[in-house]
Structures are given as C-alpha cells and as structure tokens.
Amino acid sequence: MGRIDSLIAEMTLAEKLGQLTMTAADYAVTGPLITPLSEDAIRSGTIGNLLNLYGVEATRRIQKIAVEESRLHIPLLLGFDAIHGQRTVFPIPLAEAGLFDPVAWEATARVAAEECAGDGLHMTFAPMLDVSRDPRWGRIAEGPGEDPFVGSAIARAKIRGFQSSSLADVGAVAACAKHYVAYGAVTAGREYASTDMSEGMLREVYLPPFRAAVEAGVASIMPAFTDLNGVPLTASVFLLQEVLRGELGFEGVIVSDYHAVAELLNHGVAGDLAEAAALALKAGVDIDMMSDAYRLGLPVALERNLVTMDDIDAAVRRVLSLKERLDLFQDPYRRGRADTGTTAQSRALARDVGARSLVLLKNDRSTLPLAARKIALIGPLADAGSEMRGPWGGAGRPEDCVGVLQGLTEAGLDVRHAPGVPIEENDVSGLAAALALCADADAIILCLGEALLMSGEAASRAHLGLPGRQQDLADAVFEKAAGKPVIVVLFSGRPLAVTEVVSRADAVLAAWFPGCEAGHAIADVLTGKVSPSGRTPVSWPRAVGQIPIFFGERPSGRPFNPADHFTSHYSDVENTPLFPFGHGLTYGDFKLSNLRIEPGDPLTVKVDVANHGAHAAEETVFLFLNQKKPGVTRPLLELKGFGKIALGPADQGTVTFTLPAPTGRAELFVGPNADFRSMLSLSL
Ligand code: GLC
C-alpha cells in the first residue's frame, strides 16, 4: 500500500478534515506567527494547509510543528497570492498581457516562483484567468483582458513559469488557475454580483483559458465567489465535476476562494454549514479556504448521509497527492532561503517588462520621445513609488519601488515636482504651487490616475473618470501650458473614460501599474532609450455607457450605417471605443503589406512589415478570423494569433502565423489592432 493509502487508512475524521482545511495566518515574515489556537490545531492535525504566511523562518517554524509534533507528520501546504511577483513586483497582469509575449510572461512567473519558494511557499493563487470586458470591475486589473485567445496563451506561459518542469523542483510552486469561471462577467461590473450567460458564450469566451490551464498541467483551480446562471461555482456539479473534471480531465486540487463555502448560505442554496459543506464537497471542492465549513460541517453532513466517507477520502487523496508531487513528504524544508529580496537581475527584468507594458495611446507631433530637459512634473502619482505596485502587490515592499520623480531625475532630466492635488481627497490647496512650475519648464508631465486600491478585489467603480480633483488639476495645467507640450501618464488598473484629457494632451502614456521599476521604465520610454511597444489588451470606452465594449461582437441585422438612422448606434457617442484592443503607438512608423496565404492545414499566413520611421521599435501584429457558420451569427473578429517583429529604421521583415484551415466561408484580417480601418484582409 502506498504512502497516501496507508495515511488515509490511519487518519481520524478530524485529521482528514484538517487536510481539507486552509486557514489564513498573519502576513508573518517576522514576529508572532499565528494564534496559539492555530498552532495547537496544527499539532493536532486539524489544520493541514495555510495561506498568507511567508518567510523562511516563519514557514520553517510552523512546518516543524506539523512535521515533528503532529501524530501523522503530514507537512503543511503553504499558499500565497503572488499574482504579479513576490518580492520583485512586476506590472499588474492586465499591463503584462499587453506585451503579447509568452516568453516574458513565463519569465516573470519563473522569478516569482523562485522568490515564493525562497519564502518557503509551495503554492501561488495565480494565474488569474478571468476574461473581462467591463472596466467597471476592479479585478480586470488582475486578468488577461478581453480576449480568450490571449487568456489561454497567458495560462500556458504562467503555468510553465510557476510549476517549472516538475513540482518537485526546489524553485517550483503549484499554480492555481482562478477564478473558475466567468467571474469577469459580473452584473454591471459590480464585484461579487451574479453572472448570467449562454453556454455558448461561456464555452467560447470564459472557459478557454481554464481549458488551456488544465492542458498545461495546472496543479489547482479556484472556483469563483459568484453564481453562474443561478448556481454558485463553489457548489456547481455541472461546472466542477462534469465540465472541469469530466470534459477537461482536471485531476488536481480544487481550493475554494476565501470563505466561499460558508457563503453558500448567503447565496441561499444551503440551510446550514453542514449543507454548505456537503454541496461543495459533492461538487468537487477539496480544500475549504477560511470558512471552517468542512471542519465543522462535514461531520454533521456524514451523520445526515449528505456525503460519504469515500467523498472525503477522494478529496484527501488529491490534497496529499499534491503535497507528494511537491516533494513535501521527502523534504518539507527544502524550500526557503534567507536572501529572497529583489536582485539586480530581477529588477532588470522588471524594468524591461515594465517599459514594454507601457501603452503609448497618443503622440501628436511626435511629442515623445522628450526633447526637453527642464520638466514640470505634476500630479499625485508623480512621486508615489508605493502606488506603482498596483493591487495584489504580493510581498513587494514600498521602499523597493521606484517612482516617476526618481526615475526621471536619475535619467538626468532637470525636474521640478509638485503633486497639485491628492489622488482622491477633495483638496485643491496645492494647485497654485503646481501651476507655478509650468512657467519655467520646457515640457509638462502630468501623472494622474487611480490609487492602487481603486482596482483589484472589491474595487468596482461606476464612474471611470479621474478620481478626486485631478480633472481640475488637468484642466488648469492645460490652460497654463501656453503651448508647451503636455504629456499625461495615466496610472490605473483598468481603462479609464478620459476622453477629454486625451483630446487636450499632446501625448498620453497608459502606465497601468508598472511594478517596482516603474520610474525607470517610464523614464526609459519618455526619454527614448526604449521605444514603447505595449498594446492594450482591453478596449477603452469613450463613455461608461458603452460597456461592455469589445472587438468580438456579432454583426447585428442592422450594423451601424451613418446613412441609415435605423442601424445600431447611440445618439450621443460613437459606437467605436476610444482606443481599440491592440492599440499602442511606437517610435517607429510601421506599415503592413503583402498579406498572403500558403495553402495547407494548418494554413501559413504571412504579412510583410516595414519600419519607415527614424527609431528602432517593436511592432505587434494580430491575426483575426471572421468565420461564417450556416444559421449561426459569428463574431466579426476572433483573435487567432499575434506576432512581434523588432525593426530598425528603414528595416523590413515578415511575420508568419499558422492557422487551422477554416471550414466554409471565412475572411482573414491582419492588423496592428482590432480597428478594421488599419487591417489587411483576405477572403478564404
Ligand atoms: C481573495 C481572492 C482570491 C485570493 C484569495 C486568497 O478573496 O478572491 O483571488 O486568492 O482570497 O487571498
């Protein structure tokens, strides 16, 4: 009999339920670890997993209690939210998606995994794979943007990066694909609200990244807090058992979201903790994170015959199998080392990825790269290193983060700085001092946007303009600029509805939250040391009223026609986004030509790219398909590929895609973004 079978045979019910329980510890790198009760619970084997505890001393001490003082010596599984870095904070996932570069996506996950392992962790609750087309939802910041093809590519890259070639590797951690599924479609963009959609939409838009995660061997999956079509994901036999484990063949661990099992009572689908625990276990949830429903509810559920001991044993087996794959039984202390801070290498990667995540939205009259040296740096996010981490900044320390003021100063610019107004508070007392800087400057850089906590979890917004009195600051600066170039750098966890600011600025750089090397990355792009190459992975609305807005819409029987009033349109705003998916300018001047196909299955699609500009730059090119289907309307555009090419001035090259040969009538589109006006097309 193997180790796991013999353990299960020996375990008491309390010990089994302990393996199905994950409790939050303090964010304890030093100091008191977790309450004495929890340590006793670890000694008694009634807590088998922890989250939010990291650092080699803290994790070694607590693991020692489990391994050396509990009856069966089963090691703890330790998890944490290293969503975009652990000690080295990389750009938020929405920003990093805009690199359209799986090599970079994997590289940052690899560094995060090494740093997590260094902190004694075994699991990260990432990647977050929730496609979203609603920037009112704060968690759009954590995900891959609006498109499932991108989400699937990110899933594969991140799981390779986190899990390495084997979970037994000392630098590997178990990934956790979340939040299964369709969390990004919450009603009205309001956090934790219900989701409703057709099974077709679910399978075409929200499920693919999780399919890709399972195919990539993800070790665990976390169901969403939400209900889909009336069934909470935490209790969904259809989506967890039939689809995830049945159709997709997922054999790993399903860990609930924080307190989600007990929240089945709030959903109204369970009358008490025993029913909630039974629903979740029967649906396939193995670990109950922080609701104690399994520990307290399953003994009662057993008595009521709501669950069987076999159900419990099956879940325990999956949890112990994960611990075995992580080599925790062999050497529970193999992960963990003292020096887990950022390094020159990790910061160099953060700076490179940070620069490449920046999206140059507008650059009239080639305002950028900066010609000026005397800069008025104004705005509440100009000297805000700590905010650069963005939501879910892991173990990143504020003091490790470089803000814009530091970055521009170190780049040798002559910078005068004033915040002008705070990010959110209604206070304009600093406005005059900020405006006074404009007179003596050759260029003005306005750093505006959101605080890091204005996106991420529990951070939905109904208005997507600039917070606080920032619009007043911007208006006053535009008035005061007197013809000097005004560059706006926008910090946010989502697209903002800032049409008026964009129209008045000479240049606009969407910085999202670029991570610990933000200031250096932004200085590299503004000074021209690096050409911007980031592309937005999500459409930018002109107005909140356009939401949901995305490129993959179906045609409608009355597609917009300016000559015909009775066609799909608003009376007060254009249908098109302010910036389409894929938009992003560079310092090059790229032209596409000669789109062609080489027959076969898969097809080979080629397009020539030339840089007619004076700067070297990197272009990203997208391949879309409009596939007709008899009797079924299809999206106008479906993303089927993306490719990149770096070209010097007057250089040219070719980007090649492969595409499974479409059946029936189809049209190919290739372009720098999802705007038909910029594309080349071919009928198949
Ligand atoms: C949070 C989030 C989830 C995270 C978990 C543990 O509420 O929904 O993404 O992994 O709790 O922190």
Q: Which domains are present in the chain?
A: 1-76 (no CATH), 77-325 (3.20.20.300), 344-546 (3.40.50.1700), 590-683 (2.60.40.10)
Structure confidence at residue 37 (pLDDT) = 61
**Which residues sit opposite 51 in a β-bridge?**
24, 79
Report helix, strand and coil shares of the chain as percent, to nearest 5. 35, 20, 45
CA–centroid distance, 412 to ligand 1, in Å, is 41
The answer to which of 54-63, 137-146, 155-164, 576-585 has the lowest mean pLDDT is: 54-63
**Which residues sit opposite 590 in a β-bridge?**
611
Q: In sequence order, what E strands does 245-325 have?
A: 253-254, 288-289
CA–centroid distance, 224 to ligand 1, in Å, is 9
In this structure, the residue with its CA closest to atom 11 of ligand 1 is 258
CA–centroid distance, 73 to ligand 1, in Å, is 28
In this structure, the residue with its CA closest to atom 1 of ligand 1 is 258
Atom of ligand 1 nearest to the CA of 125: 10
Distance CA 596, CA 593 (A): 9
How does pLDDT run across 230-288, given as a tens digit for each residue?
A: 999 999 999 999 999 999 999 999 999 999 999 999 999 999 999 999 999 999 999 99
CA–centroid distance, 125 to ligand 1, in Å, is 7
The C-alpha torsion from 418 through 447 and 354 to 158, rounded to 10°, is 120
Atom of ligand 1 nearest to the CA of 176: 10
In this structure, the residue with its CA closest to atom 10 of ligand 1 is 125
In this structure, the residue with its CA closest to atom 12 of ligand 1 is 81
Atom of ligand 1 nearest to the CA of 225: 8
Atom of ligand 1 nearest to the CA of 128: 9
Structure confidence at residue 31 (pLDDT) = 46
User: Catalytic residue positions?
Assistant: 257
Structure confidence at residue 305 (pLDDT) = 98
How does pLDDT run across 340-391, given as a tens digit for each residue?
A: 899 999 999 999 999 999 999 999 999 999 999 999 999 999 999 999 999 9
**Token pair of 606 as six digits:** 């080629």
**Token pair of 416 as six digits:** 């005068």
pTM for this entry:
0.98
Residue-wise DSSP of 152-206: HHHHHHHHHHHH-S-TTSTT--B-EEEEETTGGG-GGG-TT--B---HHHIIIII
- For a substitution probing ligand 1, which of 257, 287, 290, 455 has the most ligand atoms within 8 Å of its CB? 257
CA–centroid distance, 257 to ligand 1, in Å, is 6
User: Ligand 1: residues within 6 Å at CB?
Assistant: 51, 81, 125, 178, 257-258, 457
Q: Which residues of 192-217 are buried (b: 16+ CB within 10 A; e: fewer)?
A: bbebeeeeeebbebbbbbbbbbbebe
How does pLDDT run across 464-482, given as a tens digit for each residue?
A: 999 999 999 999 999 999 8
- For a substitution probing ligand 1, which of 81, 263, 285, 455 has the most ligand atoms within 8 Å of its CB? 81
In this structure, the residue with its CA closest to atom 6 of ligand 1 is 258
> Which amino acid, one-letter code, is at 529?
K
DSSP tag of 128: B
| Residue 30 pLDDT grade (very low, low, confident, very high; cuts 50, 70, 90) | very low
In this structure, the residue with its CA closest to atom 8 of ligand 1 is 257
- For a substitution probing ligand 1, which of 125, 186, 220 has the most ligand atoms within 8 Å of its CB? 125
Alpha carbon separation from 252 to 219, 315, 668 (Å, rounded): 5, 10, 38
Angle at 422 between CA 419 and CA 484, to 5 degrees: 40
CA–centroid distance, 242 to ligand 1, in Å, is 24
pLDDT at 650 over 60: yes
| Residue 35 pLDDT grade (very low, low, confident, very high; cuts 50, 70, 90) | low
CA–centroid distance, 448 to ligand 1, in Å, is 28
Are 451 and 424 in contact by the 8 Å Cβ rule? The answer is: yes
In this structure, the residue with its CA closest to atom 7 of ligand 1 is 258
CA–centroid distance, 308 to ligand 1, in Å, is 29
Q: In what order do the strands lie in the sheet with 253-254?
A: 176-180, 220-223, 253-254
For residue 325, how many other CB atoms are within 10 A of its CB? 16
Alpha carbon separation from 450 to 265, 387, 550 (Å, rounded): 35, 9, 23
CA–centroid distance, 258 to ligand 1, in Å, is 6
Atom of ligand 1 nearest to the CA of 52: 12
Across the chain, mean pLDDT equals 96
How does pLDDT run across 592-644, given as a tens digit for each residue?
A: 999 999 999 999 999 999 999 999 999 999 999 999 999 999 999 999 999 99
Atom of ligand 1 nearest to the CA of 79: 6
Preceding peptide of 369 cis, ω within 30°: yes
Nearest to 197 by CA among 210, 213, 181, 208: 181
Half-sphere exposure of 412 (CA within 13 A, CB side): 6
Atom of ligand 1 nearest to the CA of 258: 11
pLDDT at 426 over 80: yes
CA–centroid distance, 275 to ligand 1, in Å, is 23
Structure confidence at residue 34 (pLDDT) = 58
